[in-house]
Structure 1
Amino acid sequence: MAEAANSVFEITKSLDEQGSGRIKRLLEGGVKIPPQPRVLDELRKLMARKEMDVRLLARVINQDPGLTAILFRIVGNSAYRQHPPMSTVEEILHAVGVRQTFNLVQAISLAGLGAIKKNRQVYEAFWARSHTIAQMAMLIADERIAVCNIFPDQAYLAGIFHDCGVPLLMQRFPTYCAEMQLGAPGQWIDLAEEDRKFNADHCVVGYLVARHWCLPEFICDAIRYHHSINELGAHEARSMVAILQLAIEIHCVDQRMDNPEWDAIRGDVLPELGLSDDTLPEFVDIVLERFQGVANVS
């Protein structure tokens, strides 16, 4: 992948003036964007060949036992119930698809980056939350694929990346975790407080990471606007944002936590997914039943 494609200049060209300025301030302020692991570069090179060899792709993935183990766990999700059990990475590549498997590997790679020493428990809880939301997003996508045309691997990728700006801001600002009360049960980011106290936006940071890691553009946009579905209009990222927000709401329901954002956005989210206030309770039960079934197996 050419360096120019990953440069801040190329990324900010497509943004509005406000977004470009915010990214520039974040980078100048010391927010460090994590580099992509070598495995992703190797897979991209193999996928770019005219004659792609699935055996070589599987060999690269198998070099990382931790990544491989998580990949098997993900494809055990009931979102892939149409496939028979898979016992090798080659079988996953053939059954799920090369591009789809690569999306899953990208998500696993980001979540597997080294933990920060300070606030380690919060950091670990953050990734557990992201993984749960990503799994629920997969199930929503699978249930509503005829309505949204979003596939489980894409939803999982967006679910893992959607809040990835949070740990980067934790690394950059020593007081971020305490100021945002991330250690409190059920507490999550207040965007206005985040902007006021740190002149930062975890959505923009996440967008920058997603662009740097060469995620599909509509997923990058969904990450940037996952708290602003009302600003998207008919944008192709709108369905993905709706999936993410419903996954967050179902996670809150499952954990018996309040979701202060839900009432303001449900009028945008539900129609986008072909749901209504009447059909939502049954849909939530379906997703939770499938999610808990996988959790009990693993």
Structure 2
Amino acid sequence: MALDEALLATLSGDESKGIGRLLEKGVTLPPQPRVLQELQEKLANGAADVRVYARLLAHDPGLVAMLFKVVRNASYRRFQPFESVEHILQAIGLQQTVNLVRAIVLVSAVPAKHNRKAFEAFWARSHAVSELAMLIAAERVAVCNIFPDQACMAGLFHDCGVPVLMQRFPTYCKDMRLDEPGRWPDLAEEDRRFEADHCVIGYLVGKHWKLPDFICDAIRFHHDIARLENHAARTMVAILQLAIHLHHLDLHFPDPEWAAVHAEVLDELGMGEDTLPELIDVVLERHHAAANL
């Protein structure tokens, strides 16, 4: 997928050159599935009849099944049980449902070319982080003004540069040692080996898929919260970092990044060290309950 000049202009000179070299090596951005394009066109044209959106979604039974799975998340518990796609659209809202669809269809847009097991492990991790981020957003929405559908998008997209690089470079998993439990790409090592990191690639995917600017910025800087000013992107990164931390806790993996960012994360979410344990207990309990449905 060719990148337009306006998109490249959002990057620094060094990043733009690096992306250019990656494109020359055959790295491609995943295209938006047709169903998503049609849903976005309906939204842009002001269509308000939920039956129109439900008919479009009905063309993809697999997508509908995944949508029902996502809305079982406890962050939507006040609307449950959902009896139909129309019910989801009416209860959650058109824009919010399309946001969930954006996140869901990303998985099928980046098919595995090598090492299917690694791809499956990646998406399992992304789904878990996404679900945890939704729960955190629901708990802190009055303070943070970030909604579950937005957290779902950010959770599934925040590391989407990883499968894009995995798809192009057969040795990526081995080079980044992703077969080690709890291991995740080191940005400096990525840059040295591939001349770009997964955060920048993910940012470009988000821009190409027309995600809100603050979510694209959160994808780009989700390992560097200090780079962000006090706005929605910073809050989203705080939610993502806490969701990642809870995922590591849940699997009993070390989280070397947490010590450096936890003070900024808690401050951004309006929390203190004394209130964090209760939130962790509530979110993980609801996360486990949803997994057993």
Distance 1:12 1:43 in 2: 26
Please tell me whether residue 233 in structure 1 is matched to residue 240 in structure 2: no
Equivalent in 153, 164, 167 of residue 149 of structure 2: 153
Structure 2 partner of 1:140? 136
Whether 1:219 and 2:215 are equivalent positions in the alignment is: yes
- Which residue is 1:96 aligned to? 92
Distance 1:50 1:163, change over 3 A: closer
Name the amino acid aligned to 1:126.
F
Task: After superposing the two structures, state which structure 1 stretch, 248-257 or 109-118, moved more.
Answer: 109-118
- TM superposition shift of 1:239: 0.2
Mapping for residues 191-206 of structure 1, pairs under 5 Å: 191-206=187-202
Q: 2:32·2:109 contact (CA, 8 Å) conserved in 1?
A: no
Q: Is structure 2 residue 86 aligned with structure 1 residue 78?
A: no
Greater Cα offset, 115-124 or 68-77: 115-124
Quote how far apart the aligned CAs of 1:7 are.
4.5
Is 1:187 aligned to 2:176, yes or no?
no
Kindly state the Cα deviation for residue 222 of structure 1 after the two structures are TM-superposed.
0.3
Deviation at 1:30, TM superposition (A): 1.9
- Scaled by the length of structure 1, the TM-score of the pair is 0.94
Looking at structure 1, the residues matched to 280 and 173 of structure 2 have their Cα atoms a distance apart, in angstroms, of 31
Deviates more, 1:134-143 or 1:260-269: 260-269
In the alignment, what sits opposite 2:168?
Answer: 172
Aligned-pair identity (%): 57
Q: How many Å apart are 1:293 and its aligned residue?
A: 1.0
User: Taking structure 1 as reference, are residues 50 and 107 closer, same or farther at Cα in structure 2, changes over 3 Å only?
Assistant: closer
- Deviation of 1:198 (Å): 1.8
* 1:124 paired to 2:120: yes
1:118-155 CA distances to partner (integer Å, 9 max, x unpaired)? 21101100000000000000000000001110000000
Q: By how many angstroms is 1:11 displaced?
A: 1.2
Equivalent residue number for residue 265 of structure 1: 261
The answer to whether residue 54 in structure 2 is matched with residue 58 in structure 1 is yes
- Within the alignment, does 1:37 sit opposite 2:33 as a pair? yes
Who is 2:106 aligned against? Answer: 110
User: Is 1:210 equivalent to 2:201 in the alignment?
Assistant: no
* Cα offset, 1:50, TM superposition: 3.9
Q: Which ranges of 4 or more aligned residues in structure 1 deviate by more than 3 Å?
A: none
What is the one-letter code of the residue matched to 2:24? E
CA 145–24 in structure 1, closer or farther in 2 if over 3 Å, else same: same
Structure 1 gap ranges (5+): none
- CA shift for structure 1 position 114: 5.3
Q: Is 1:244 aligned to residue 240 of structure 2? A: yes
Alpha-carbon distance between aligned partners in 2 of 1:280 and 1:60, rounded to the nearest angstrom: 42
Superposition RMSD in Å: 1.6
For normalisation by structure 2, the TM-score amounts to 0.96
Size of the alignment, in residue pairs? 293
For 1:293, the equivalent position in structure 2 comes to 289
- Structure 2 gap ranges (5+): none
Q: Secondary structure of 1:118's match?
A: coil
- Contact between 1:206 and 1:224, CA under 8 Å: does it hold in 2? yes
Give the CA deviation at 1:52: 2.7
Contact 2:133–2:155 at 8 Å: present in 1 too?
yes
The aligned residue for residue 22 of structure 1 is: 18
